[in-house]
Chain A
Amino acid sequence: MPILAVVGLLAAVPLITSSNVTLNFMVMALLIALVGQGWNLLGGFGGQYSFGHAAFFGTGAYVTAILQMRYGVNAWLGFVIGVAAGALFGAITGLLSFRSGLKGSYFALITLAFAEVLRIVASVTPITGAGVGTLVILDLRPEAFQFQSRAPFYWIILALVGVSLVLTRMIEHSRFGAYLVAVRENEDAARALGVDATMIKLGAMTVSAAMTAAGGCFYTQYFLFIDANIAYGPWISIEALLAPIIGGIGTVFGPLLGALLVKTLGELAKLVTGGAPGLDLVIYGGVLVAVVAFAPRGMAGIFVDLRRLLRKAQERGDG
């Protein structure tokens, strides 16, 4: 129910403002929330920290773009196939990494390697448009997944975030979710209790990749352009893990909370520093350090602590 309330509230934003700047800001924040939710499922709930979620984002983005431009596939169908391709790629990379028993920093490194290899390949192969990138032809019809105004885009990305929230909540309350968390906490203990750790991690990686790929597909439709550095660049891998870490790792609302905070902070930092190149990133980094040092469970953790404090204060008042 909190999901419904939050999504409903956010859905009202375009009714309040028609400012393109605001909507654009919100679209980007929600995009990061979606991509971050993908990371959170595998990293937050499963404890498998990926440094290369760009691999899935970019695969979704390119598959959508290429299917439309080279094969004349409808954009909506392209979107669905893009998500499926991301999921498949997640399953394959997961199989390769988990079957070889890669854990912790080794897993992080292999995911980074996958993303970097894809970035380099995409910047030289003709099908991706090599260094030039791929442009999606402007065709402002809803059938082509393109819209005159930003509001429909906003509602679509909000709907995708809503789906990711519901899906994450369902997983959290399922056997699969319980097993996933058990694997994160202690893989050997989980295996002794009948958990097929490899399959559980593989499942999580597949769903995680699908969510992140959906973000990539959306990116293509929103900007109508994709190149190797956008699709597979480290920026998106970092955004994907920053949002949940700052918002609250392993919580349903963490990525959304974190994405909104990080994006707001980014804008504020740009305002404060007056666009001095790189200075906003310094502030960004400072906040990340502060969160990791003082609130390792992120904003969601702070909320939980506050609620507990309030309840304690209340009990004391009653007694």
Chain B
Amino acid sequence: MVDPLLRVENVSKRFGGLLAVDQASFIARPGRITALIGPNGAGKTTLFSIITGFQQPSQGRIVYAGEDITGQPPHKLARLGVARTFQIVQPFVGLTVRENIAVGAHLSRRSRTDALAAAGDVGRAVGLGDRLDRPAHSLTVAGRKRLELARALAIQPRLLLLDEVLAGLNPSEIRDIVPVIRAIAGGGVTMVMIEHIMQAVMKLAENVFVLSEGRVLAEGAPQEIAVNPRVIEAYLGKGAATRMMAAGADHG
């Protein structure tokens, strides 16, 4: 089996009395999409912040491309090819869409002209081609999600962490963006996505880790995860799995 590109090893994060992440471990295999799911407050975003250097783990380590990267600052990790999007979109509101993406493109390009040209290409690839010269603040939620994606892609990452890029989108918008994500993976970028929308997870991810109360509860293919009683209980409460089975039997 191929070595994982990202290996999160027994990472814990404590905020005062709260253990937000508790000995969590997971891996992301190169060129694949790995999903991280779990109820609100499970520690998914905190884990992303730790992987990308915005927060330090209280314990554990992060191994990327065979190297221990624990505690490296975000800008260094970006230079190593680790990109992320933010759950709450963080556009540079005063800039145009193209200028937003160019900030990412500048990582490998000193020249302003080159960066702006590359930004245009990336923008078109994620479907923002007609809005490149609009101010970022004029974008809709769906547009902002695409922008978030485009900026991260512009640094030409090897590993891309997507924090709920589908949240807040309507079904038709989700249908539009899923192929974009699949195309990125097709381009060889390894992805880890935090996602609540299970339909999309089923379509995109090859491997799913379920996080609950800071711990990894289950791991497996999306189809296995969806019927795993422990996972259903984590989302819907104790006994939900058996009730669902019963209900399913009635309808079947």
Query: Using a CB–CB distance below 8 Å, which chain A residues touch chain B?
Result: 173-175, 178-179, 181-182, 184-186, 188-197
Residue B75, interface by CB 8 Å: yes
The residue that A192 contacts in the complex, of B86, B99, B102, with Cβ under 8 A, is B86
Residue B152, interface by CB 8 Å: yes
A194 and chain B: residue at smallest CB distance: B78
- Report Cα–Cα, A197/B94, bound state, in Å: 18
- Report Cα–Cα, A33/B8, bound state, in Å: 53
- Report Cα–Cα, A189/B154, bound state, in Å: 13
Residue B91, interface by CB 8 Å: yes
Residue B43, interface by CB 8 Å: no
The residue that A181 contacts in the complex, of B95, B107, B111, B115, with Cβ under 8 A, is B95
Residue B112, interface by CB 8 Å: yes
Pair A192/B78 contact, Cβ less than 8 Å: yes
Pair B75/A178 contact, Cβ less than 8 Å: no
- Report Cα–Cα, A138/B99, bound state, in Å: 52
The residue that B75 contacts in the complex, of A174, A181, A184, A196, with Cβ under 8 A, is A196
Chain B residues, Cβ within 8 Å of A182:
92, 95, 103
Pair A186/B90 contact, Cβ less than 8 Å: yes
Pair A175/B94 contact, Cβ less than 8 Å: no
CB distance from A93 to the nearest CB of B (A): 22
23 residue pairs A–B, Cβ–Cβ below 8 Å: A178-B99, A178-B103, A181-B94, A181-B95, A184-B94, A185-B91, A185-B93, A185-B94, A188-B54, A189-B86, A190-B92, A190-B103, A191-B73, A191-B74, A191-B75, A191-B78, A192-B54, A192-B74, A192-B84, A193-B83, A193-B154, A193-B155, A194-B78
**8 new A-B contacts at CB < 8 Å, known A178-B103, A189-B90, A189-B91:** A178-B115, A185-B95, A186-B91, A190-B92, A190-B103, A192-B78, A193-B83, A194-B104
Pair A195/B112 contact, Cβ less than 8 Å: no
Residue B182, interface by CB 8 Å: no
Pair B83/A192 contact, Cβ less than 8 Å: yes
- Report Cα–Cα, A304/B227, bound state, in Å: 59
B106 and chain A: residue at smallest CB distance: A175
The residue that A195 contacts in the complex, of B75, B152, B154, with Cβ under 8 A, is B75
Residue B190, interface by CB 8 Å: no
The residue that A194 contacts in the complex, of B75, B90, B95, with Cβ under 8 A, is B75
Residue B79, interface by CB 8 Å: yes
Pair A189/B92 contact, Cβ less than 8 Å: yes
The residue that B155 contacts in the complex, of A174, A175, A194, with Cβ under 8 A, is A194
Chain A residues, Cβ within 8 Å of B112:
173-175, 178
B83 and chain A: residue at smallest CB distance: A192
Chain A residues, Cβ within 8 Å of B93:
185-186
Chain A residues, Cβ within 8 Å of B79:
194
Residue B251, interface by CB 8 Å: no
CB distance from B156 to the nearest CB of A (A): 10
Chain B residues, Cβ within 8 Å of A193:
78, 83, 103-104, 107, 151-152, 154-155
- Report Cα–Cα, A194/B53, bound state, in Å: 11
- Report Cα–Cα, A193/B155, bound state, in Å: 7
- Report Cα–Cα, A222/B186, bound state, in Å: 66
- Report Cα–Cα, A196/B83, bound state, in Å: 15
Which of B78, B102, B111 counts the most A-chain CB atoms under 10 A from its CB? B78
Residue B110, interface by CB 8 Å: yes
Chain B residues, Cβ within 8 Å of A191:
54, 73-75, 78
Which of B75, B91, B94, B112 counts the most A-chain CB atoms under 10 A from its CB? B75
Pair A175/B75 contact, Cβ less than 8 Å: no
Chain B residues, Cβ within 8 Å of A190:
92, 103
Q: Mark B183-227, 1 if CB is under 8 A from A, else 0.
A: 000000000000000000000000000000000000000000000
Residue B46, interface by CB 8 Å: no
A186 and chain B: residue at smallest CB distance: B90
CB distance from B153 to the nearest CB of A (A): 11
CB distance from B86 to the nearest CB of A (A): 7
Residue B45, interface by CB 8 Å: no
Pair B52/A192 contact, Cβ less than 8 Å: yes
Q: Mark B67-78, 1 if CB is under 8 A from A, else 0.
A: 000000111001
- Report Cα–Cα, A191/B79, bound state, in Å: 10
Chain A residues, Cβ within 8 Å of B75:
191, 194-197
- Report Cα–Cα, A184/B92, bound state, in Å: 9
CB distance from B217 to the nearest CB of A (A): 28
What 7 pairs across the A-B complex have the smallest Cβ distances? Answer: A194-B78, A185-B92, A189-B90, A191-B74, A194-B107, A182-B103, A193-B104
- Report Cα–Cα, A23/B95, bound state, in Å: 39
